[in-house]
Amino acid sequence: MTAALQERSIGPLTVLFGRENGKYPQGNTLLIRGNHKSVMIDPSLGMVDRKSDLPEVDMILLTHVHEDHIAGVHLFPDAECFAHADDAQGLASLPGLMEIFGYQGKSVPGFEASLITDYYYQSRPDVQKFVHGDTFDLGGVRIDVIHTPGHTRGHCCFLIDWDGSSERLVVLGDIDLTSFGPYYGDNWSSLVDFERSLKILKDVEAHWWLTFHHKGLVEGRPLFLSMLEKYSQMISYRENNLIGFLKEPKSMGEIVEHQFVYRPGTGGVMVSQIEQRSMTMHLERLLESGKVSWQQDGTWRAELNVK
């Protein structure tokens, strides 16, 4: 194991950090050792880096089915795999995963190839399903499923508590608390669901919070709530910027080209598709509230007299 790969143990839990604190495409994996079973949550590319020294694992739990969260699944062929019922098809077959993303155009074959070569995708037709409220008892350690859709339909967080401690840890998956903000640009993403999920997390009591990317391990609920609030505000920040941009009528092409999600200059066919999906969700609710209007010439315009 190289010096770049860090670990942190908290009771029966061990955080297996990816390189650069799980910076994409790396991620932070959690290993849990109960008295009866061991579980790994979101085996990442960091597990591929550790493949010469892998732990024994009875079960794999997935916060959701995206390429970076399943990259290490192939290393544990004998472990049972579990995903939320709304995301399981992505692990059952490659076409099922591609439906979750919903990408279109000439870039699709290259993306499919990358899933196999760069993320080691192997289908698991034996994937088992869980739903909100399910509990996994490992013997002295309990994992409760909290369905937090938005990023994908089946995205979940896991609330973990263990005997002998009043502390609890929440695995946040891709609710990653970054300055980038929530990502809801795939075919199976939902802006409204994401906002509801963020509200749910505000009421969860825990001491530790683990993001799959970037922030890593966060200690203390006050700090988590502060970070969650800043993260959540990126949604209104994008929406307000969109309204300001539409002071003059703009086509969807102009909206996509402006880039409200990604930094200007970030290119690629998929980026354009993500921008269009994300901004379409904002436009739909702004249209419903009367804050924007759609013109007969195919452009969108802000209604500035509406509060």
Q: Residue 127 has what pLDDT?
A: 98
Is pLDDT of 17 > 50? yes
Share of the chain above pLDDT 90, in %: 94
The band of 307, judged by pLDDT with boundaries at 50, 70 and 90, is low
Q: Residue 269 has what pLDDT?
A: 76
Is pLDDT of 276 > 50? yes
Q: Residue 306 has what pLDDT?
A: 63
Is pLDDT of 2 > 60? no
The band of 305, judged by pLDDT with boundaries at 50, 70 and 90, is confident
Q: What is the mean pLDDT of residues 195-199?
A: 98
Q: Please list, residue by residue across 202-229, b when 16 or more beta carbons sit within 10 angstroms of its beta carbon and e when fewer do.
A: eebebbbbbbbbbbbbbeebeebeebbe
| 169 bridge partner residues | 160, 208
User: Whole-number mean pLDDT of the chain?
Assistant: 96
The band of 264, judged by pLDDT with boundaries at 50, 70 and 90, is confident
Q: Residue 268 has what pLDDT?
A: 75
Q: Among 3.40.50.150, 3.60.15.10, 3.30.365.10, 3.40.50.2020, what is the CATH number of 7-232?
A: 3.60.15.10
Q: Within the chain, which residue ranges are assigned CATH 3.60.15.10?
A: 7-232
Q: pLDDT tens digits for 28-37? A: 999 999 999 9
Is pLDDT of 16 > 60? yes
Least confident of 126-135, 231-240, 256-265: 256-265
Distance between CA atoms of residues 152 and 186, nearest Å: 8
Is pLDDT of 64 > 90? yes
Is pLDDT of 3 > 70? no
Q: pLDDT tens digits for 38-50? A: 999 999 999 999 9
Q: Any alpha helices (H) in the chain, and if so which ranges?
A: 45-49, 89-92, 94-101, 108-117, 191-201, 221-245, 252-258, 269-289
Q: How far is CA 191 from the centre of its chain?
A: 13
Q: Residue 266 has what pLDDT?
A: 85
Distances (CA, A) of 266 to 259, 261, 269: 8, 10, 10
Q: Residue 304 has what pLDDT?
A: 80
Share of the chain above pLDDT 70, in %: 98
Q: Residue 265 has what pLDDT?
A: 84
Q: pLDDT tens digits for 91-135? A: 999 999 999 999 999 989 999 999 999 999 999 999 999 999 999
